[in-house]
Amino acid sequence: MEAQVKLSDGMSPYEVALLQFDRAVERMQLRKGVVKMMRQCKRELTVTFPVLMDDGEVEMFTGYRVHHSTVRGPTKGGIRYHPDVNLDEIRALAMWMTWKCAVVNVPYGGAKGGVVVDPKKLSRRELERLTRRYATEISILIGPDSDIPAPDVNTDPQIMAWIMDTYSMHVGYSVPAVVTGKPELIGGSAGRGSATGRSVHYCTVRAMEHLGLPLRRARVLIQGFGNVGSWAATLLHESGCLIVGVSDSRGGIYNPNGLDPKAVLAHKQRTGSVLDYPEADNVPHEEFMGLPCEVLVPAALEMSIRTQEAQKIQARLIVEGANGPTTPAADEILAQKEIFVVPDILANSGGVVVSYFEWVQDIQRLFWTETEIERRLQGLLDRAFAEVMDTARKEGVSMRTAATMVAVKRVHDATLLRGIYP
């Protein structure tokens, strides 16, 4: 039996992260003090800073950078620009990063950052000034040996380039390894753009095999058509799946005969949304997740699968591209409906794995081919997927609890090896 806690869709992301942690820990023999340590974030920085706007006015912004754990190495985690960013959410995302890095066994602890802003309302110059000032404010934490940011929602290679340049200007020489997800011309890695979508694709293939379902013509719905969603759609389409629906913040589109993701992406780039794509029907958000499909990939924001959505979902498999997309209350319903869920910390780990490769290449000043990157990524995912499946089977738990158990064990054991300072 899993922990009896009152589950509601109203739990905050950090409450959800703690509940998932507690569920993993209650099945393990761990040192109590180390569990207490892992339950908390190590350090949290809140910054408020001015940005000169194009009209000559000064606006104040708030940003965060949180380190959850530094036990297994420097911290790693994305930077998010969104009007709903808050400290609770950033804490949860930082904790999930610790487990994600540990489950795929890359030598990092977890971090996350964000700025409360709607970047769509800023000009390019304003976005650059905001980014450079935020990077300066958090420069007491970031560095190639201490904390290495990466892109997340509404941040991209250009924003990473500005962060790399700002940090480099401060120290007086170029430090490409301070961020990952940069353009390749300034030390980015081949294959970083597609990496998160690639791990979603990999987990879909493996999970469909496990369920004994054919991949060819499997109907797929993708919620969120940004970096992760559009790459997952493209790769699954190339593997013969039918991408029957995709959505973005404005709504969804549906065509039971399948969509061409590249054409939808071109439409979104032209018009700003997937809506009104000529070869599909528009579908409102409330109906999207209930559309008929075998595979559902949430690739937007956390808490998007709640009780209401879980009840409607017809998929046999959910592969979590987004971080924290499923509430614990919804998880329970999905389990009752015997829907197989590949959890975020495994399914979207491709991003951090290739970020790790980018960091290693930057430090070595030696760059690998895309084929080499894909081979190494596949190796790490093979091992992690098998380990999580094995734990789920042996312990009789969900893939989510199993993945958290594998990760927590690594962080716990590393803590014991290092000892408690002083």
Position of minimal CB gap to ligand NAD = 226
Does 364 bind ligand NAD (CB under 6 A)? Our answer is no
Q: Does 327 bind ligand NAD (CB under 6 A)?
A: no
Q: Are strands 242-248 and 43-52 parallel, antiparallel or unpaired?
A: unpaired
Near ligand NAD by CB under 6 A: residue from 322, 329, 342, 381: 322
Region 180-209 residues binding ligand NAD, contact defined as CB under 6 A: 196
**Residue of 321, 398, 403, 410 interacting with ligand NAD (CB under 6 A):** 321
Among residues 41 and 92, whose Cβ is nearest to ligand NAD?
A: 92
- Known catalytic residue: 6? no
Q: What does the alpha-carbon distance between residue 345 and residue 122 come to, in Å, rounded to a whole number?
A: 32
Minimum distance, C-beta of residue 149 to ligand NAD, in the bound complex (Å): 12
Site string for ligand NAD, 1-40 (x = CB under 6 A): ----------------------------------------
- Residue 249 binding ligand NAD, by CB under 6 A: yes
152 makes contact with ligand NAD (CB under 6 A): yes
Which member of 164, 253, 299, 333 binds ligand NAD (CB under 6 A)?
299
Q: In what order do the strands lie in the sheet with 242-248?
A: 281-283, 251-254, 242-248, 219-223, 295-298, 317-319, 340-342
CA-nearest of 400, 272, 256 to 335 is 400
Query: Is residue 323 part of the contact set for ligand NAD (CB under 6 A)?
Result: yes
**For residues 233 and 225, is the Cβ–Cβ distance under 8 A?**
yes
176 binds ligand NAD (CB under 6 A): no
CA atoms within 13 A on the CB side of 107: 6
Bridge partners for 111 per DSSP: 67
Task: Compute the least distance from the CB of residue 52 to ligand NAD, in Å.
Answer: 25
**What is the rounded distance in angstroms from the CA atom of residue 20 to the CA atom of residue 102?**
15
Backbone angles phi, psi at 51, to 5 degrees: -130, 130
Burial class from Cβ neighbours inside 10 Å (0-12, 13-18, 19+) for residue 13 reads buried
Selecting among 76, 100, 112, 268, the annotated active-site residue is 112
H or E element in which residue 168 lies: helix 157-171
Q: By CB under 6 A, name the binding residues for ligand NAD.
A: 151-154, 196, 223-229, 247-249, 285, 299-301, 321-323, 348, 351
Residues classed as catalytic: 112
